[in-house]
Structure 1
Amino acid sequence: MPNPKLIDSPLSRVVEEDGERVEILIYRIEGAEWTLEIVAADGCSTVWEEPFESDGEALAEAVSAIQQEGIKSFLEGGVEKGALH
């Protein structure tokens, strides 16, 4: 059985705010819906449990979460390591 192809969205990006930096990762396995993950510079990763129909929806959710919760909420201590939204 061939390995599934992982597709990275061109909408993935790095966001900096208040001297902190996170990476918005949007990806999917070929034929599946999009996954959203925010990875902080300290290695803390937050992954959304529910998939998104489009990468644009995933990006909008990431931007909204950063605006509402603040970028520091995605750093270790702001959320538990491996936290899920």
Structure 2
Amino acid sequence: MTETEQKFEFSEFSGEFVDDDVTVILRIYRPAGTNLDWTLEVFDEEGNTTIWNDTFDTDRDAFEEFLATVQRDGIRSFLDEPVQRLH
């Protein structure tokens, strides 16, 4: 199966997130039909992507890491150059 054929299961925590008048799209996902770890990705208003290098045991763990990043670095940190973040 090629990557374009891969189906994903998206967490209920995925979706738009707005803070300080900045909107980002939060995607927390894993391959559909699996119990593999969850991937965390954030898309900014320009369509740039920030993705975490590590995966997460649960979708809640991924969401909490996103919230901790927003609290620590601010939502505007996602508007800088796209980066890969360490977990």
Q: Scaled by the length of structure 2, what TM-score is found?
A: 0.82
Q: Which residue of 1 aligns with 2:14?
A: 12
Cα distance in 2 between the residues matched to 1:53 and 1:18: 29
Task: Compute the displacement of 1:67 (Å).
Answer: 1.2
Identify unmatched segments of 5+ residues in structure 2.
Answer: none
Cα distance in 1 between the residues matched to 2:47 and 2:24: 9
Aligned Cα root-mean-square deviation (Å)? 1.6
Residues 1:65 and 2:69 aligned together:
yes
Q: Scaled by the length of structure 1, what TM-score is found?
A: 0.84
Identity %: 33
Cα distance in 1 between the residues matched to 2:30 and 2:63: 13
Q: Which residue of 2 aligns with 1:84?
A: 84
Identify unmatched segments of 5+ residues in structure 1.
Answer: none
Cα distance in 1 between the residues matched to 2:43 and 2:6: 23
Q: Which residue of 2 aligns with 1:24?
A: 26
Greater alpha carbon shift after TM alignment, 12-21 vs 52-61: 12-21
Deviations 1:10-47 (A, max 9, x none): 11121112211111110001322100001111112100
Cα distance in 2 between the residues matched to 1:35 and 1:55: 8
Structure with the bigger percentage of helix: 2
* Equivalenced residues, count: 81
